[in-house]
Structure 1
Amino acid sequence: MCDKKNSVLFTDTECVVLSPYFKLTDESHVLLKVPRKDNMYSVDLKNVIPQGGLTCLFAKATPDESNLWHRRLGHVNFKTMNKLVKGNLVRGLPSKLFEINQICVACQKGKQHRASCIENLIDLKVKVIRCDNRTEFKNRVMNQFCEIKGIKREFSVARTPQQNGIAERKNKTLIEAARTMLADTKLPTTF
């Protein structure tokens, strides 16, 4: 059929043979193209670059694999992990569907603390910190710490509390990520 330039479409209920004059009206619906070689269409899943919603075609990750990548990516949530797969944004991340299979204790511990502790940033490769103009961020100790670590600080404009929300959310995300990774290593809480 294909040698006669016909197109073949397989669905969940039937196989449709289309005329040689059939043309796709919208290329954005194509999720995967595989070349024909020696009268075979071989899909090498390790070398496929996902397009669009191709992730749904792949196998689900095992629970152990899901947890491993969850930890490797700094305890990022599973929805974000699947977006990374869909966009092919992380080299080495398998093209699989990641699902949460159990509650991550480290994530719970990392997000339950509310204390602001800048020392948790030591092991992270932080280049810029956005902060408001409070004295906890503008003092000699903090200046020395940032200078030693090569961290640049950006301060919000005085008397503009609406800018503080951005800084607070970004800093909270960094602190929670650091705390979660520390909790995952089962170090004492003093760290």
Structure 2
Amino acid sequence: MTGRKENLRDFRSHENAGVVKFGNNYKCQVKGYGKVTNGQFIVNRVAYVEGLQHNLISVSQLIVGTGNQVVFNDEGSITSKFETNEVLLKSKRYGDMFTLDIKPIVGKPSVCVLSKASNDVCWLWYSRLSHLNYQNLNKLVIEDLVRGLPVLKFDNDTLCAACEIGKQHRKGHPIVIDSKIVEPLLKSEVAQTMIEFTKKIEMSMKKNVRRIKSYNGSKFKNNVMDSFLMGKGISHNFSSPYTP
């Protein structure tokens, strides 16, 4: 229990949460419960007692339902995971008093000082919050907007396959530009005019001409025009021949 409400995160007030009785028979009302964390180690269900001058904690609160174990020695205490023996917290002993050496996060923490969440925890909350991106997920942590959300830095280098597919865009069809020359041309002007027109289209549109179509007449069939089109890789299509 604590008398400092600012140290509690995810605080929930209760009207009839109980009464704490001290050695001098003085009683204080429990105002609610929250959790204390330093970003890596979390103590759940910490009672807020208004007016309490010292923080108190029981060993059972660190062990029961947490999967942790606490070992005491002459130097202090070691809190670790029961299954993996991963050390979570080391605390020193002062005289006959065993303390819990934890610096709780107060207010809005900076993301850079938070411990990084494991990949399993990242994917768990990423899925729970409908594939919310990690930048906004960290904002929820800083602003303390979601109850139960661990105070950790969420980051994952692995892309979500479903989101990656959903954000793909279908490739568009190639643009076909249809331009025409409708002015009457003399036979001697056809080749040069067609060459200049082709170059003008490529310059203005910044695209290569792939094919042209012309009237199936003799003035559009000459060596100069055929040589230019062959060098540019442009196909020359003719209209159907006139049939009386």
TM-score of the superposed pair, with normalisation by structure 1: 0.34
Of structures 1 and 2, the larger Rg is shown by 2
Structure number with the higher helix fraction is 1
Higher relative contact order (CA 8 A, sep 6+): 1
Give the TM-score, by structure 2 length.
Answer: 0.27
